[in-house]
Amino acid sequence: MILVIDDDRDILTSARLLLKQHFSRVETLSSPAELNRVLSKNAIDIVLLDMNFSRGRNDGKEGLYWLDRIKEISADTQVIMMTAYGEIELAVKAIKKGAFDFVLKPWTNEALVSTIGNAIKLGSEKKKVKQLEETKASLESNLALSEKDFLSRSSAMKEVMKTINKVAATEANVLLLGENGTGKSVLALALHQLSSRRDQPFISVDLGALNENLFESELFGHKKGAFTDAHQDKPGRFEVADKGTLFLDEIGNLSLPLQAKLLSAIQSRKISRLGEHKERNVDVRMICATNMPLYEMVNQEKFRQDLLYRINTVEINIPALRERKEDIPILSQRFLQKFARKYHKNTLKLSPQAFDRLAEYHWPGNIRELEHTIERAVILSENTLIDSFNMQLNPEEVKPDGLNLVQMEKHLIQKAMDKYKGNISRAARELGITRAALYRRLEKHGL
């Protein structure tokens, strides 16, 4: 949107007639007094601003004052000053204060259209750079996945990958279901990298670890001064993910009020930063994941049915590691190579007894637990061969597949808490889960 501000109505009429031929939306104001209201409710790309508004004034101070206000309210808006020939020195001063350029009145049509076009192009480039900086600064790096990350002997996992390849090329929202540690975040990244959005941001949000009070700020962003610690404007994850993919992990942990806010953003494809009234359009592909029984939660009125229908256009169930044990040797070897390089033990190998031990274990923590087990074995190994002893899997923890999983989970959590004398951080690290996830399980099992 282009906004022209001048107290001369003939100038406003001429500008509107010209610019409407080249740009989709042009608005005019005869006084800058309305600037605060207009900027707070609309996304303004360009402001054409006169240098003087009061009769008899030609010192340009009014223009410089309103330039500062525009940049304070909307730093991304490009400002072009309109000035008479004798005010060029003032226009140069305005550029030093943040204006994009200036045009002389009366202008030539070609020069004005060209200047505005250049300003729009610069604004677009700045937004792209800012988006990339936000992505790098606040989120994990989006490292490329290779084919070896999906090698599998399991028929169940091969079916999952077949579905991933079919769905990735579409714009469908995807819901990944599976236990913790089954690789849902890796598969979400695979969906993104196989899609047409692969060159755009992939933004991951762990909703299970997100403070409820900061939900709106993190997802929708905030305006400077919106709350005590809001020292500057900040875009939310939806904005940073614009044109790319937004991955919401552990979506089953959202409270009903937050589910309603998320649903509204998904339906309208618009968000408003906390402390702002203007809406911003966002174009994101949604991928969600959870280990919780969403359909049961819908029946219990703990999860919104309309939100479930929005996020599960395609639903993919990820098998637990105990259901794909034929993949344990492949995964173990991959993790061994990874950690052998990390700890400079490149000659390490797994013994046949170690592979047997890994195959017998129930793996309640799934792939994540296997990865931590291999890393620990590499660290503790003193020879070139890792045997079953290095696995440090307690015999009583090597359970038959028929054991109730809930009992197994409670048993392991209790052992970890006992081992570390109630230290949540160390127990969570041992179990291969986050502190937030451990707190939820302690409450779930009444521990």
DSSP codes of every residue in 339-359:
HHHHTT-TT-EE-HHHHHHHH
Instruction: Say which residues have a Cβ less than 8 Å from residue 60's Cβ, sequence separation at least 6.
Output: 51, 52, 83, 87, 90, 91, 93, 94
Sheet-wide strand order for 314-317:
202-206, 245-249, 285-290, 174-177, 314-317
CATH fold of the domain at 322-444: Helicase, Ruva Protein; domain 3 (1.10.8)
Superfamily in which the 2-133 domain is placed by CATH: Response regulator (3.40.50.2300)
Which of 252, 272, 249 lies closest to 261 in space, CA to CA?
272
pLDDT in tens, 394-435: 555 544 444 566 767 777 887 788 777 778 888 888 888 888
Q: How far apart are CA 218 and CA 205, in angstroms?
A: 9
Q: What is the DSSP letter of 254?
A: -
Burial class (CB in 10 A: 0-12, 13-18, 19+), 265: buried
For position 324, what pLDDT does the model report? 92
Specify the pLDDT at position 148: 56
- Spans in the chain with pLDDT lower than 70: 56, 85-87, 128-151, 389-390, 394-405, 407, 446-447
Phi/psi of residue 33, nearest 5 degrees: -60, -25
Using alpha carbons, select from 44, 23, 22 the residue that is nearest to residue 32: 44
Q: What is the pLDDT of residue 128?
A: 66
CB 408 within 8 A of CB 362: yes
Q: Give the pLDDT of residue 258.
A: 94
Token pair for 226: 């919106």
Domain ranges of the chain: 2-133, 147-319, 322-444
- DSSP annotation of 140 reads -
Based on the number of CB atoms within 10 Å of its own CB, is 107 exposed (0-12), middle (13-18) or buried (19 or more)? middle
d(CA 416, CA 429): 10
Express as a percent the part of the chain with pLDDT over 70: 89
The reported pTM is 0.60
| pLDDT score, position 399 | 47
The pair phi, psi for residue 268, each rounded to 5°, is: -85, -20
Query: Residue 108's pLDDT is what?
Result: 87
* Cis peptide upstream of residue 352 (ω within 30 degrees of 0): no
Find, among 51, 8, 52, 55, the residue nearest to 28 by Cα. 8
Would you say 52 and 60 are in contact if contact means Cβ atoms under 8 Å apart? yes
From the number of C-beta atoms within 10 Å of its C-beta (0-12, 13-18, 19+), residue 268 rates as: exposed
Work out whether strand 202-206 and strand 245-249 pair parallel, antiparallel, or are unpaired: parallel
Torsions phi, psi of 377, nearest 5? -65, -40
For residue 44, give every residue at least 6 positions away whose Cβ sits within 8 Å of its Cβ, in sequence order, or none. 1, 2, 3, 38, 74, 77
The whole-angstrom separation of Cα 251 and Cα 254 is: 6
- Enter the tokens of residue 182: 């089954």
Helix (H, G, I), strand (E, B) or coil at 430: helix
Distance CA 283, CA 154 (A): 36
Beta strands in 157-253 (DSSP E): 174-177, 202-206, 221-222, 234-235, 245-249
Predicted confidence (pLDDT) per residue in 184-233, tens digit: 999 999 999 999 998 888 999 999 888 888 899 999 999 888 887 777 78
CA pair distance 439, 391, nearest whole angstrom: 26
CATH of 147-319, one of 3.30.1490.20, 3.40.50.300, 3.40.640.10, 3.40.1190.20: 3.40.50.300
Cα distances (angstroms) measured from residue 153 to each of 88, 148, 158, 325: 73, 12, 8, 9
Which position has the token pair 């779930």? Answer: 444
Same fold yes or no, 147-319 and 322-444 = no
The first and second tokens of residue 205, run together, are 């949000």
Query: To which residue do tokens 């259901």 refer?
Result: 323
In 3D space, the residue among 291, 274, 269 whose CA is nearest the CA of residue 206 turns out to be 291
Helix axes 88-96, 61-73, angle to 10 degrees: 20
Whether cis (ω within 30° of 0) applies to the bond prior to 106 is: yes
